[in-house]
Amino acid sequence: MIPFFLDRMSMADLEEVAEVEREAFSLPWPSSAYRRELRENKTAYYLVVRRGRHVAAEPPPRRPFPFSLLPQPPRPMPSIHRPNVIGHGGLWMMLDEAHITTIAVRDAYRGQGIGELLLSGLIDHAYELKARWVTLEVRVSNVVAQNLYRKYGFGQTGLRQRYYSDNHEDAYVMATDSITLPESRQRYVELKQRLYEKLESRYHDVVPMAPAIPLERS
């Protein structure tokens, strides 16, 4: 049984993120691109799926009075083990639109709901940012991904010809209706609940923070 959890991408993850990129895409983004995104792009949000358990930091021990009135002495930094990255995703926030830029999963974990978990995490963040719509691009040949996106309320709104530079394939532009609508929010809550129930029944110990699809990059 393998537990997973969503986490914010950090600089320490970039080596593993680059490995996922090489497995997922014919034209992977280099680590330098993600480093620049994390440091400089204030509109960007990136998350990862980790294999392992989410362990909260231990609070400092309580000191008896009167020592509790004194400044807390510095604590040594613990040795932190960061569980393996098995997938990542990202979005850019543009005015009231959350644009999903990438979803990638390691070869060994495809077909296990990890891509859908990333999509769900990105939509969660879109809600946190008060976005009204979520958009993305998808290869016209990637019917399985399109079906997943439609499940989450995306519809085709346009076509970008020869969008992908590896084979000049066209891309569909897909977007949700306003996610602020009560019916959209309710549908998402129900989909997220079913997703976690599916993962929990498979792994029994999935840890949320808060697809069985070919991988996609906008």
Residue 188 has pLDDT above 60, yes or no: yes
Q: Which domain holds residue 152?
A: 4-54+83-217
Question: Looking at 95-181, which runs of residues are DSSP E strands?
Answer: 97-105, 133-139, 154-160, 171-176
- Is residue 36, in this structure, part of any structural domain at all? yes
- Is residue 105, in this structure, part of any structural domain at all? yes
Pick the catalytic residue: 137, 152, 188, 216? 137
The average pLDDT across 192-211 equals 72
Confidence band, pLDDT 50/70/90 cuts, at residue 182: very high
Told to judge if 137 belongs to the known catalytic residues of this protein, a careful annotator would answer yes
Using one digit for the tens of pLDDT, what is the confidence trace for 90-118? 999 999 999 999 999 999 998 889 999 99
Pick the catalytic residue: 34, 45, 46, 149? 149
Give the rounded distance of the alpha carbon of 32 from its chain centre. Answer: 19
The average pLDDT across 46-53 equals 86
Residue 161 has pLDDT above 90, yes or no: yes
- Is residue 93, in this structure, part of any structural domain at all? yes
Residue 206 has pLDDT above 50, yes or no: no
pLDDT at 77: 43
CATH number of the domain enclosing 30: 3.40.630.30
Residue 176 has pLDDT above 60, yes or no: yes
pLDDT at 70: 57
pLDDT at 217: 56
Residue 22 has pLDDT above 50, yes or no: yes
Q: Which of 19, 196, 12 is nearest to 114 (CA)?
A: 196
- Is residue 25, in this structure, part of any structural domain at all? yes
Query: How many domains in the chain?
Result: 1
- Is residue 61, in this structure, part of any structural domain at all? no
- How far apart CA 20 and CA 12 sit, in angstroms, is 14
- Is residue 74, in this structure, part of any structural domain at all? no
Which tokens hold the place of 74? Answer: 């510095």
Judged by average pLDDT, the poorest of 25-29, 71-75, 125-129 is: 71-75
- Is residue 65, in this structure, part of any structural domain at all? no
pLDDT at 10: 95
Residue 54 has pLDDT above 80, yes or no: no
